[in-house]
């Protein structure tokens, strides 16, 4: 695994100096895939906060890393006589300036909910690829029907959907489609917003009212208690493999699919390295099979499911 991202909305954002060092440490540890978005900012209230930090941290090593960012697009931005291409390009140029780069490797439409058809966006993305301003493009929180419509216009590079041991909807349709069509799958919230690390208990309190973990269904007291068999299962494998529970949850999906590149989020330097080291936790086929079959017997509480 060579990827990381910064969780937004999960508690206090560290000082910029710490964030830059954390990104640079990750790079030095072998991380080459960085995921951000124009909206990642304190409480998602500003534009470009995280892109600026990523840009500063990686400007000296830009050619060695893959940068992914995302835009929201609304029909109202396009205006009379304007085109979808012009609107997408405006977002992209702003992101490129903040990221201190002349090209974005992977540019996602963050959600398809803005009243612009996915075919129109796909066409604009195809043009931006031809312009040499992006290398590839992706969609986030989409089902197979939307992916297929987009793919027919401009072949996709990656799909970024929620996926973890407690959010497995993508296994039935999206991942098989991606495998068949040579599309990467980038799971977000791969450790279920921290639940699968085993470090969150029924006693954990998220202090701020605006910490999104107060609303993550799997992190309610009742659902943490209900999901305890999954947390115990991860602990059992963590002990067996001399790893952490978070690492086992990532190693599980890395073993399961060749096209999956998870982006665990953390604001903590040590945990970022811990998560990257999940790529060194090799489950044997037998270990994976018994983990998978035990997991399949566990009921999941607080499943979020597919939502745009």
Sign of CA dihedral 131, 133, 137, 140: negative
**x/- string (CB under 6 A) for ligand NAP, residues 73-92?**
--------------------
Q: Does 166 bind ligand NAP (CB under 6 A)?
A: no
Query: Least distance to ligand NAP from the beta carbon of 240, Å?
Result: 18
Residues in region 247-306 near ligand NAP by CB under 6 A: 263-268, 271, 274-275
Binding residue count for ligand NAP, defined by CB under 6 A:
27
- In the residue annotation, 40 being an active-site residue is answered as yes
Q: Among candidates 37, 30, 36, 35, which has minimal Cα distance to 2?
A: 30
Nearer to ligand NAP, 22 or 122 (CB): 22
Query: Least distance to ligand NAP from the beta carbon of 77, Å?
Result: 20
In the list 41, 154, 193, 218, the residue contacting ligand NAP (rule: CB under 6 A) is 193
DSSP 135-186: EEEEEES--HHHHHHHHHHS--SEEE-B-BTTB-GGGTTHHHHHHHTT-EE-
Give the C-alpha distances (Å, rounded to integers) separating 304 from 72, 154, 198, 254. Answer: 22, 30, 19, 22
**First and final C-alpha spacing in the chain:** 27
For residue 129, give every residue at least 6 positions away whose Cβ sits within 8 Å of its Cβ, in sequence order, or none. Answer: 135, 136, 137, 154
Residues in region 14-43 near ligand NAP by CB under 6 A: 35
Nearer to ligand NAP, 22 or 88 (CB): 22
Which stretches of the chain bind ligand NAP, using CB under 6 A? 5-7, 10, 35, 140-141, 160, 188-194, 197, 199, 246, 263-268, 271, 274-275
- Which residues are catalytic, by number? 40
């Amino acid at each position: 695994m060579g990827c990381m991202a910064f969780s937004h909305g999960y508690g206090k954002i560290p000082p910029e100096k710490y964030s830059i060092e954390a990104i640079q440490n990750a790079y030095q540890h072998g991380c080459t895939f960085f995921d951000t978005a124009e909206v990642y900012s304190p409480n998602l209230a500003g534009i470009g906060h995280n892109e600026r930090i990523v840009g500063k941290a990686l400007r000296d090593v830009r050619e060695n890393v893959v940068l992914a960012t995302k835009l929201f697009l609304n029909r109202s931005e396009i205006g009379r006589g304007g085109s979808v291409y012009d609107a997408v390009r405006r977002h992209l140029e702003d992101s490129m300036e903040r990221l201190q780069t002349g090209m974005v490797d992977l540019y996602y439409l963050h959600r398809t909910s803005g009243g612009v058809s996915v075919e129109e966006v796909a066409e604009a993305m195809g043009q931006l690829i031809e312009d040499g301003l992006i290398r590839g493009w992706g969609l986030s929180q989409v089902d197979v029907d939307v992916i297929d419509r987009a793919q027919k216009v401009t072949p996709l590079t990656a799909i970024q959907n929620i996926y973890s041991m407690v959010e497995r909807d993508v296994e039935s349709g999206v991942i098989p489609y991606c495998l068949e069509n040579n599309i990467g799958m980038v799971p977000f919230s791969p450790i279920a917003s921290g639940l699968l690390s085993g470090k969150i208990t029924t006693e954990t309190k998220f202090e701020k009212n605006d910490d999104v973990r107060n609303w993550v269904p799997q992190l309610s007291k009742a659902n943490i208690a209900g999901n305890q068999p999954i947390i115990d299962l991860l602990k059992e494998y963590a002990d067996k493999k001399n790893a952490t529970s978070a690492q086992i949850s990532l190693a599980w999906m890395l073993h399961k699919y060749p096209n999956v590149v998870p982006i665990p989020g953390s604001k903590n330097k040590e945990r970022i390295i811990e998560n990257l080291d999940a790529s060194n936790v090799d489950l044997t086929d037998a270990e994976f099979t018994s983990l998978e079959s035990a997991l399949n017997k566990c009921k999941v509480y607080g499943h979020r499911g597919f939502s745009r």
